[in-house]
Structure formats: C-alpha cells, structure tokens
Amino acid sequence: MDVYQAIATRRDVRAEFTGQVVDDATLMKLLQAAHRAPSVGNSQPWDFVVVREPGMLDDFAAHVALQRQRFADSLPEERRNTFDPIKIEGIRESGTGVVVTYDHGRGGPHILGRHTISDAGLFSAVLAIQNLWLAAVTEGIGVGWVSFYEEQFLAELIDAPAHIRPIAWLCVGPVREFAERPDLERFGWRTGAPWRMPCTGAATVPSAP
C-alpha cells in the first residue's frame, strides 16, 4: 500500500475493532512513525502515553459517555436522532489508548519558526498524529480520535504535569475492515465536500484531473 492508498483508506474508527490488542512490535512502529513527523524548529513537542490498564480505560470511557450525552442533549431533536447511532465503542473495544500530549515549552523559549505563530508547536503535534494514523492503515490497524473529553480530566487520569496538554486520545487496534465510507457520511451527519482546485488572487493553478 502506498501513501496515496493509505490516505484514501484511512477512517476514523469508532466501533469496528476486532477486540484483539495491537501487538507491542507494531505499536512501537506506529509510535516511531509518529515521532518522525516534522516539527517547528525541530522542537518535537509531543509525547505518547500508552494506556491499556482496564480501570483507566473504563474511567475514560465513562467520562466520554457523559460528555457525549451532554452534547446530544444540546442538539435539536432531528440532529440528535442522527447523532445517536454514532457510537464511540473503541475505547474499551480496541484495548489500547494512545494519549498524545503537547509540551509548549519543549525546546526552550526560542523556537525557530514559532515567533509569530504561537500554535505552530501544536500544529506539529497534530502532524505526528497524522503520521501515526497513516502508518497504522498500512499495518491494518484502525485509529479512532476521541475528542469528547475535558482536558483537565484526561491530564489527571494520566498524571500529566501542569504544563502538559493532552490533545488527543487515539483508540488503536486491529480492525475487521476499513469502511468504504466515513461514518459521518454513512450515518447522515455530514457529507464531505468534493475536492476542488483552489485558486485565489492572481495565482495560476493547473486544471483539475
């Protein structure tokens, strides 16, 4: 599988894990791929906390369920009915959580390239997530990005220092298959827009294929 196939195949996996736990060797390959991401000023402001302890998985799953319900309660009835079937079962089902954290102070106070864009370090950490995700696809491993959580709760769950920000919980594990269509399209929440060739100002771009 080449990188273009991995990009096209990648899905946000919510409930299609096999229940088997990703083996340590494969998980290490994914984390190494994540660590090879580009970063502003070569600051590498990320860390990866692997969570497999059942009690921690249960605690996080319960917290996510509460936040998901609060979001559902905020929706008008029609949108809530569309949202209800979009479950988040991967926290327990995958058996492995990877918490990606961001350290704004990594690399010291003078980060080359961050002078005018303070969030450039945060963007770098997200690139590490994308590396991990695409590498996982090539290994037949699914990834689900969970964002229904309060940052303080997750920081305390993983015992992170006060200056460390948990920016993602990734459910990581083998999947039966990758869905043909993204879940949010299949469940009618939102359909992705078709790709369009961008053109702004006086820029000249080639014709779309």
CA–CA separation, 115 and 41 (whole Å):
10
Give all domains of the chain, ordered by start, each with its CATH number.
3-186 (3.40.109.10)
Tell me which residue of 164, 119, 174 sits closest to 144, measured CA to CA. 174
pLDDT recorded at residue 15: 83
Q: Are 14 and 144 in contact (CB under 8 A)?
A: yes
Q: What is the pLDDT of residues 87-124, one digit of tens each?
A: 889 999 999 999 999 999 898 888 998 989 999 999 99
pLDDT in tens, 182-201: 888 888 889 888 887 665 66
| pTM for the whole structure | 0.90
How far is the C-alpha of 183 from the C-alpha of 200, rounded, in Å? 32
